[in-house]
Structure 1
């Protein structure tokens, strides 16, 4: 009898279970709060109207996929038919969310898109925290690109029109992977404004006037795979347009447009890269500035990674790329997918299915 009374006395009461429930809720809330601190403040938000308040930004450019575009050999997720779209999402994840690569200055990531990019993809990018800005088509009838996906590539030059919005842009191609925070690139000497040189013999009468100052910084076009990057076969006169630091300027855009309008003025094999190199070559009034080669490795390998190269540039989705860096690219891709599915609850899927299942 005494034993049964003692057991009833020790049995948890209703008040106990209520207290336990609220304690559990509190602990879960604390856990969620501290897991959320892995995200920078407002990491999924953009400013009203689609433009941030920051005058310095990271940016990329996205076009619609073309029929001749190579795709990943492992179609497992939304957007696998468009690896450049997946690449843009990866850049956004790295620049805004991943602790070891995100901007410590909380700089925005702006995706400039061609008019042909589907609204469903724009919704995904906005939902994942990028700013999406459409730019109007720019081209020239005399340019015939060797690849169909380059038909919209000259439109990229319209980024220079955003003089009222941004002071300095770090442009990254969508086939790039980041290995560390890139904020320091804004402080590089090569990324600071320069006065346009007074070189009368370098000006051409049928080209528009030049701005008084400009920013154009990049790394040389490299060819071979060995480390270190500065020993790779490279054309040091040729800037690779995959990584650029530039200052938007409507006057400079007008100059680019005037050059574009003149048939045969530059080699159009790599249209926008060769136009930019024509305008910014060393013997003209606005020569491009060289960034340290540690900022980007084209055709990267394990030695590039081990020696701290900050941006790896390769089309990682192509099945014939089987080097040790391809595994790193794919690992980051699936880490990104896991982040959005696990931490934010598949935030891109509602937009995609709502826009693609209207029947």
Structure 2
């Protein structure tokens, strides 16, 4: 007759099995669970604003907010550039019809004159604020300091889209980062028409943009004499590029025609030069759009709907009125949000 094991032997086997299962489970937890990605790159945003040395990843969008003249800050409602910036941010991050489908950090570079209350309001709107040191140059003004967007020690991403704050959106723009023109291009070290130094240039670069007044030049944007608009361009930051641009500030006799917004970068990336700019697909962007350009086919419309002192305003155009509506939509959105927390 077969005899069963003793109870204490049975309990010992159960205890050993339980211990082995516990060890296996612990190993799976420790080594089998994926580590979450760093905040601000591909993972969820961190509750605290990231430091400058964390501003790196694949894609980002930048714009610049500064003060001109005597450097005196204006009230929030009267500071048109600040209102423009908030309206642009709202369209990119919150407006149902135009917000980005994927998480792309929005970085606003500011100079030292922008007061903290405006910076904090923009942070609350969802952006990263980075203060940059002013590049002093009487001729170039804010345009010189705006070159900081190319400095990888300030913001370092593979591809960065710069958008002027007085730009309005008609639909999401996520796919612009995949435009064929935004691939890295080799520098042409033996290019023609290059009187300035080129030995310190990067090996590869990205500068993709749209022609000034695209409607006038039609599809012939490859002509050497067609400049690109500095209101929107996609680029790759590098130390070499930033140093090159800084050097050009002191060599304005090579290219200066009076247009602070276009001259320097158009010379640096001229057709026939060592780093010629590439044309974004014509469906992405219009500079100075007309009344018939609100059909949703062109997602980025650049118009001075709230011009600063001394600038021409197109606030009475159809696009200008559309932009004003986005401003009040933004205001209403945040009033509703703020009241919900009261």
TM range (shorter): 0.7 to 0.9
The match for 1:135 is: 132
Contact 2:91 2:99 in 1 (8 A): yes
Determine the C-alpha separation between the residues in 2 that align with 1:179 and 1:236: 30
Comparing both structures, which one devotes a greater share of its residues to helix? Answer: 1
Q: Within 5 A, what are the aligned runs for 1:167-246?
A: 167-204=158-195, 206=197, 209-222=200-213, 237-246=226-235
Contact 2:188 2:274 in 1 (8 A): yes
**Offset of 1:198 from its aligned partner?**
3.0
The answer on 1:264 being equivalent to 2:258 is no
Cα distance, 1:110–1:346 mapped onto 2, change above 3 Å: farther
TM-score scaled by length of structure 2: 0.75
**Offset of 1:45 from its aligned partner?**
5.2
Q: Within 5 A, what are the aligned runs for 1:156-175?
A: 156-162=146-152, 165-175=156-166
Contact 1:112 1:133 in 2 (8 A): yes
Comparing 170-179 with 58-67, greater Cα deviation is found at 58-67
Contact 2:62 2:149 in 1 (8 A): no
The match for 2:339 is: 345
The match for 1:48 is: 50
TM-score scaled by length of structure 1: 0.72
The answer on 1:62 being equivalent to 2:65 is yes
Stretches of 4+ aligned residues off by more than 6 angstroms = 41-44
Aligned Cα RMSD in Å?
3.2
Contact 2:314 2:320 in 1 (8 A): no
Question: Out of 310, 316, 325, which is 1:322 matched to?
Answer: 316
**Structure 2: 5+ residue runs without aligned partners?**
1-42, 308-312
Determine the C-alpha separation between the residues in 2 that align with 1:90 and 1:188: 25
**Offset of 1:203 from its aligned partner?**
3.8
Cα distance, 1:263–1:95 mapped onto 2, change above 3 Å: closer
The match for 1:332 is: 326
Cα distance, 1:46–1:184 mapped onto 2, change above 3 Å: farther
The answer on 1:274 being equivalent to 2:274 is no
SS at match of 2:323: helix
Q: Within 5 A, what are the aligned runs for 1:1-40?
A: none
Determine the C-alpha separation between the residues in 1 that align with 2:87 and 2:196: 44
**Offset of 1:49 from its aligned partner?**
2.2
**Offset of 1:321 from its aligned partner?**
3.2
Contact 2:191 2:272 in 1 (8 A): no
Contact 1:340 1:346 in 2 (8 A): no
**1:10-47 deviation per Cα after TM superposition (whole angstroms, max 9, x unaligned):** xxxxxxxxxxxxxxxxxxxxxxxxxxxxxxx9789564
**Structure 1: 5+ residue runs without aligned partners?**
1-40, 72-77, 146-150, 351-359
Contact 2:209 2:280 in 1 (8 A): yes
Comparing 78-87 with 183-192, greater Cα deviation is found at 78-87
SS at match of 2:233: strand
Determine the C-alpha separation between the residues in 1 that align with 2:110 and 2:79: 14
The match for 1:286 is: 275
**Offset of 1:345 from its aligned partner?**
3.2
Determine the C-alpha separation between the residues in 2 that align with 1:162 and 1:208: 19
Cα distance, 1:128–1:321 mapped onto 2, change above 3 Å: closer
The match for 2:85 is: 88
Contact 1:45 1:129 in 2 (8 A): no
**Offset of 1:237 from its aligned partner?**
1.8
**Offset of 1:66 from its aligned partner?**
4.6
Cα distance, 1:65–1:46 mapped onto 2, change above 3 Å: farther
SS at match of 2:226: strand
Determine the C-alpha separation between the residues in 2 that align with 1:111 and 1:210: 26
Cα distance, 1:44–1:229 mapped onto 2, change above 3 Å: farther
Determine the C-alpha separation between the residues in 2 that align with 1:229 and 1:327: 26
SS at match of 1:60: strand
**Offset of 1:202 from its aligned partner?**
4.2
Contact 1:103 1:183 in 2 (8 A): yes
